[in-house]
Structure 1
């Protein structure tokens, strides 16, 4: 009976998409055919997309290849917001509005027409399909506290999903809800999935038979992934994307984050990722500075999508620079690496957060351990940063509550640097 109900609800979701003008099937077919092409043929197709935009540089010369992209200015979030306000006012009835979470600044509003939204959702469906579930399969979303109201309840019903909050709910209530919902897959913030995993580990219950757990929005380390996978007995899949572009890269079973959107062109400048959507008309997004520092590499893995993959994501460029006691600057990714080394050494998993509001001093919040463990971690991180970077730091233990929702593992709150 449950299988029939799930199938019926999946059918309702797919019909809903079609009813609002979102055509998944045709674009899904195009995406699958595109990634079956060889790399030269893919490049030719993307050049067709590019030439259809009619881009010109400041001198009026047409941009007809990707080698000429550097002649175009980099679009910042502030540029995008200023242009977006005019577009929103003029947007046609039937456009779809999406808003970023606004974790690094004020929220950004994204306008999409039906064709553009269809492409983004078809890319997501393509990624899910390669892991054995689909857009419209029964989803448990670990997203923090759900927004109440009839409109949101109806939206979640039509999208065949339920929102869970492992932080706010009592463990017994959370586990009962999860068991009743019996999801096909889980989707959510890495920190929320980790907290849910801790609850499941401490309260042995019969788990739903999942096909995958998709983590997004926050960095996750190999020991944390292994901890989640051993608890739920399914693969943990990393998604890399943003509200502006939805899915940019998606992880295969061999741990490569493949580029998956045929209309996306990704480049790096000074290690920072620049993203261009070659099909976007409602709000042109060309050489958009997404704010992430990351690697791009060519793999030999042909699991799905492109052979080009997104490697280590060091984090948002905004507020990711930390300062040691001697005033020396360093990238906050060192804290993530230190905790990864510690977790492997002790065979335990923690969620953590560092905040700096004074030069050389960091407030550390670790969830899932006692005070003695916190002090051991504190000493380890201080030694690790000193041995790896030669930078002395101080760490103070913080007793702040667990993070609710999307938060970075490091936040710099220094008001002024001399």
Structure 2
């Protein structure tokens, strides 16, 4: 019954999804040369569509780029980098008017600034969902199976009602209120589910309550975190509660599914649908199916490490993202110097590797030269000494650090950010 409802809904909303899913399964074990050929073919089609938009037509003219001269993936570098601010400012001139049927409105979370609104066509949406389904297939997950969802939501009555109807159609249940009683009810429902996905910080809360009440959730085939950093301390709790680690999906509304973690712990890039470049450890993404709103050499704003020569046991040759290290451009202001917020990532990574000290944290800066480090649990004086030692190694005496155990601050859509600046 559930499978029938899912397939009927898919046929109406995403008629291309299953066809694209089977294509992705066929190319799963393709060679790098074969994958690059697919990328080049899709890139040429994307550039043809981009050339129909006022923005890209102007860019190609100004840069003296003839799209017919783009004959290799290296030629992509001739095209200027695009940023989120440009996508917002030039929104209407980037939207491809050639695509005017079966458009779906998309919007980024806006958790780090102004949100981006655009329209993607059915094929784009279907390919994105197909890439997600391929990732699910690695864990034996069927999309119509009962699943739990931990995500942002809208408090308005109509939006909440619409969400509940959609959740029913896809056999999904979610947590609308994040308190211990509601979370406990959610945990009990997970006993009958096959997979769980959502914000990693909320998955962590679910695992803590399951462990506290000795509830075994090893029935879940897959536990997937996205949109937030997955701390090592989360994995310790997850392994106890679920009998497995939290796996990661990396992507964005405008960039699509960029990478998905395989059962052997490697984040394989979705090379059939995206081209990923790394410049000074910063990621650039070209979404190869974004024909209705071309996303070409997009500065997503994350620091990453990419490994091209990785022989994964799973057999896939797709490039691997080794680490997603944090947001680009967020700055901690000392009394004298400025520091990238990525510094916090290295401080807590060192605590884990050197002292086996696993901490969840959130840093808040409200005043120049001062920062509040909120920790999720109390630490001993010895552990505090280790933390201060690491902090001073990176910031010297330029920054006063206050350690507290207050509740973490979340955005309107319930997303947890590791660094918040309120200067």
What TM-score bracket applies, with the shorter chain setting the length? 0.7 to 0.9
Cα distance per residue 1:145-175 (max 9 Å; x no partner): 565532111111222211125x722x24322
The residue that corresponds to 2:32 in the other structure is 39
Cα distance change of structure 1 residues 196 and 144 upon mapping to structure 2, 3 Å threshold: farther
Q: Tell me the residue number matched to 1:134.
A: 142
CA distance in structure 2 between the aligned counterparts of 1:21 and 1:255, rounded to whole angstroms: 30
CA distance in structure 2 between the aligned counterparts of 1:267 and 1:118, rounded to whole angstroms: 24
Instruction: Name the structure 2 match of 1:81.
Output: 88
Which 5+ residue runs of structure 2 have no aligned equivalent?
52-59
Residues 117-162 of structure 1: per-residue CA shift (max 9 Å, x gap): 1111000000110112133332211225565532111111222211
The corresponding residue for 2:116 is: 108
1:388 to partner: Cα distance? 5.3
Root-mean-square deviation (CA), in Å? Answer: 2.7
Match of 1:396 among 393, 402, 419: 402
Q: Is the contact between residue 250 and residue 258 of structure 2 (CA under 8 Å) also seen in structure 1?
A: yes
Relative contact order: is structure 1 or structure 2 higher (C-alpha 8 Å, sep ≥ 6)?
A: 2
Quick one: distance in 2 between partners of 1:259 and 1:89? 26
**SS in structure 1 at match of 2:247:** strand
Alignment of 1:249-268 (within 5 A): 249-268=259-278
Question: Normalised by the size of structure 1, how large is the TM-score?
Answer: 0.86
Please state if 1:333 is matched with 2:326: no
User: What TM-score do you get using the length of structure 2 for normalisation?
Assistant: 0.85
Q: 1:223 to 1:18 in 2, by over 3 A?
A: same
Q: Residues 344 and 48 (structure 1 numbering): CA distance in 2 closer, same or farther, change over 3 Å?
A: closer
Q: Is the 8 A contact 2:147 2:172 kept in 1?
A: yes
217-226 or 185-194, larger mean C-alpha shift: 217-226
Q: 2:284 aligns with which of 270, 274, 278?
A: 274
Give the Cα separation in 2 of the matches to 1:89 and 1:232: 45
Q: Are residues 134 and 392 of structure 1, via their aligned partners in 2, closer, same or farther at CA, if it must alter by over 3 Å?
A: farther
Residue-by-residue CA offset, 1:331-361 (whole Å, 9 max, x unaligned): 3333234334445777675432001233331
Q: SS in structure 2 opposite 1:69?
A: helix
Provide the C-alpha distance between the structure 2 equivalents of 1:97 and 1:174, rounded to a whole number of angstroms. 31
Tell me the matched-pair count: 400
CA contact (8 A) 1:35 1:42 kept: no
- Structure 1 Cα separation of the partners of residues 200 and 114 of structure 2: 22
1:226 lines up with 2:236 in the alignment? yes
Partners of 2:3 and 2:334 lie apart in 1 by 53
